């Protein structure tokens, strides 16, 4: 072998080594599994990537600039806990409190009631959106039976994510036209870099067992270094959002199709310091659709909110319509509805809230109970000044709550309350 060939072989060997090392570094970074699972679908349908590209191009044609007051959309959720045989609350069989915390996080993030909303840089504050999308655990299953919205299933051996897609999902999912299916799964050690994944709403996915969100069990809700934002990110995909850096890294040639998210050449990790720039603009790395740590992301944009709502109204209309019958908390609490018109003010509120009963009311109030959006009851104290009830809500975090007024006549009245900080 002459010297020229030796040099060529050496260069090729170094190039292969560089590619392997680069791939290893990328895999070492915890990340969303969406790109890998898209490859999974492409292997089953050679037209899948073309369908995705058309979807993103079509996003540019919708009205992404609308802002202001929107009607609230509620999404029914069922959570499937996949475990290896331990008791509920132990190891992979995560406790109900974690599930409740994840629902709280989703509602806070999508309603921009998250405590760290103040951390959004001034440059992007005017773009940050309350999507007016909310989530609640289903209280009715597909057969019309009462449900907690939580199912538990034992699988002792999960070799890879293909097994999740081909075996676990088909055996456990609820009708995806009426429920957002979320799976908490022991991610196989060979793919432990995947924090979670979901698919964009393509024809190949919509209405099938593939439709929903998969989360690593240790990324579900508040636990350790997890702030529950993996779920926020993956639900973003489920509702039609791509990564804000597009479908490639190191290039400014692709983006997410959303007008008000600056073009970015690559994902950000850890917790960068603002400002960071690429592609000739300041990067919005604190967006939920980037890869930064949970406690460094804090916003969706108005454009993203409009894309998600467009997705719900056009591609997932049955999901929007299902909420009233399978998980409307106000309806489920109102077993015997008190026929009373009351005023709650201010609403949203921060420290105090007043409930004004009509002067003609003859019903006797027994107590007031505050429920979180996931149905968990929270103690509340109040004072009664004639027909005005004053409640101290300083101990409540930002979020969505329901005030349940119970009367001695056996009736109840429930009203929604937004708490902001």
Q: Residue 188, CB half-sphere, CA atoms under 13 Å: how many? A: 14
Residue 406's DSSP bridge partners are 367, 412
Question: Who contacts 367 (Cβ-Cβ below 8 Å, separation ≥6)?
Answer: 406
Catalytic residue among 108, 191, 234, 302: 234
Instruction: Please state, in angstroms and as integers, the Cα–Cα distance from residue 172 to each residue in 80, 149, 325, following that order.
Output: 7, 13, 21
418 and 390 Cβ atoms separated by less than 8 Å: no
* Confidence grade of residue 173 (pLDDT, cut at 50, 70, 90): very high
Nearest to 98 by CA among 24, 30, 150, 176: 150
Nearest to 297 by CA among 243, 218, 372: 243
| CA max distance for the chain | 103
Instruction: Flag whether pLDDT at 231 surpasses 90.
Output: yes
Q: Please count the other Cβ atoms lying within 10 Å of the Cβ belonging to residue 335.
A: 9
Average pLDDT in the 205-212 region? 96
Nearest to 290 by CA among 216, 214, 233, 249: 233
**Among 63-72, 199-208, 272-281, the least confident range:** 63-72
Can you give the pLDDT at residue 268? 94
Instruction: Flag whether pLDDT at 277 surpasses 70.
Output: yes
Give pLDDT tens digits for 98-116: 998 899 899 999 999 998 9
Can you give the pLDDT at residue 12? 35
Within the chain, all domains assigned CATH 3.40.390.10 are found at 33-326
Give pLDDT tens digits for 124-169: 999 999 999 999 899 889 988 889 999 999 999 999 999 999 999 9
Instruction: Flag whether pLDDT at 81 surpasses 70.
Output: yes
Pick the CATH number of 329-419 from 1.20.120.1200, 2.40.100.10, 2.60.40.10, 3.40.50.720: 2.60.40.10
Work out whether the CA dihedral 44, 47, 53, 54 comes out positive or negative. Answer: negative
Instruction: Flag whether pLDDT at 119 surpasses 60.
Output: yes
Give pLDDT tens digits for 351-380: 999 999 888 877 788 778 888 776 667 878
Give pLDDT tens digits for 11-58: 333 333 333 333 333 444 668 999 989 998 999 888 998 988 888 888
Instruction: Flag whether pLDDT at 279 surpasses 90.
Output: yes
Average pLDDT in the 400-417 region? 79
Query: For residue 83, how far is the Cα from the chain centroid?
Result: 22
Within the chain, all domains assigned CATH 2.60.40.10 are found at 329-419
**Active site includes 234?**
yes
Can you give the pLDDT at residue 158? 96
Helix or strand holding residue 281 (H, E): strand 281-282
> Taking the chain, what is the end-to-end CA distance rounded to the nearest angstrom?
73
Q: What is the mean pLDDT of the chain?
A: 85
Instruction: Flag whether pLDDT at 388 surpasses 80.
Output: yes
Question: Who contacts 314 (Cβ-Cβ below 8 Å, separation ≥6)?
Answer: none
The architecture that CATH gives domain 33-326 is 3-Layer(aba) Sandwich (3.40)
Gap between the Cα atoms of 91 and 87, Å rounded: 8
Q: Please count the other Cβ atoms lying within 10 Å of the Cβ belonging to residue 328.
A: 17
Nearest to 263 by CA among 32, 120, 250, 271: 250
Can you give the pLDDT at residue 27? 43
Q: What percent of the chain has pLDDT over 90?
A: 54
* Confidence grade of residue 9 (pLDDT, cut at 50, 70, 90): very low
* Confidence grade of residue 328 (pLDDT, cut at 50, 70, 90): low
- 3-state helix/strand/coil string of 211-272: CCEEEEHHHCCEECCEECHHHHHHHHHHCCCCCCCCCCCCCCCCCCCCCCCCCCCCCCCCCC
* Confidence grade of residue 258 (pLDDT, cut at 50, 70, 90): very high
Q: What percent of the chain has pLDDT over 70?
A: 86
Average pLDDT in the 210-215 region? 97
Work out whether the CA dihedral 227, 230, 235, 241 comes out positive or negative. Answer: positive
For strands 180-185 and 213-216, give the pairing.
Answer: parallel
């Amino acid at each position: 072998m002459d010297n020229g060939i030796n040099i060529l072989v050496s260069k090729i060997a170094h190039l292969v080594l560089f590619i392997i090392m680069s791939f290893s570094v990328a895999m070492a970074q915890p990340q969303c599994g969406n790109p890998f699972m898209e490859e999974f679908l492409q292997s089953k349908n050679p037209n899948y990537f073309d369908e995705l590209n058309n979807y993103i191009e079509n996003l540019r044609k919708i009205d992404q600039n609308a802002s202001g007051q929107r009607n609230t959309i509620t999404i029914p959720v069922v959570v499937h806990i996949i475990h290896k045989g331990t008791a509920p609350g132990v190891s992979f069989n995560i406790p109900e409190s974690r599930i409740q915390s994840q629902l709280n996080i989703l509602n806070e993030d999508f309603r921009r009631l998250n405590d760290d909303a103040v951390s959004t840089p001034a440059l992007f504050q005017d773009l940050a959106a309350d999507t007016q999308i909310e989530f609640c655990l289903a209280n009715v299953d597909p057969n019309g039976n009462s449900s907690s919205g939580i199912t538990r299933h034992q699988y002792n051996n999960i070799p890879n994510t293909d097994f999740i897609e081909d075996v676990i999902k088909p055996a456990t999912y609820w009708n995806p036209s009426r429920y957002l299916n979320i799976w908490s799964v022991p991610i196989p050690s060979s793919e432990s870099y995947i924090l979670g994944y979901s698919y964009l709403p393509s024809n190949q996915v919509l209405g099938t067992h593939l439709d929903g969100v998969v989360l690593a069990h240790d990324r579900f809700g508040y636990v350790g270094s997890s702030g529950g934002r993996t779920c926020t990110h993956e639900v973003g995909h489920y509702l039609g959002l791509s990564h804000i850096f597009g479908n490639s890294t190191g290039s400014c040639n692709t983006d997410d199709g959303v007008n008000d998210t600056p073009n970015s050449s690559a994902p950000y990790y850890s917790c960068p310091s603002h400002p960071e720039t690429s592609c000739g603009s300041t990067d919005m790395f604190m967006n939920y659709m980037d890869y930064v740590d949970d406690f460094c992301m804090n916003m969706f944009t108005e454009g993203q909110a409009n894309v998600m709502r467009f997705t719900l109204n056009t591609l997932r209309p049955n999901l929007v319509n299902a909420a009233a019958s399978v998980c409307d908390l106000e309806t489920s609490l109102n077993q015997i509805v008190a026929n009373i018109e009351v005023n709650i003010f201010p609403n949203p509120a921060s420290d105090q809230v007043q409930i004004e009963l009509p002067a003609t009311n003859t019903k006797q109030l027994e107590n007031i109970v505050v429920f979180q959006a996931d149905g968990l009851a929270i103690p509340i104290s109040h004072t009664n000044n004639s027909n005005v009830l004053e409640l101290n809500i300083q101990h409540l975090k930002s979020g969505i709550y329901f005030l349940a007024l119970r009367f001695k006549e056996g009736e109840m009245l429930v009203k929604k309350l937004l708490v902001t900080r």
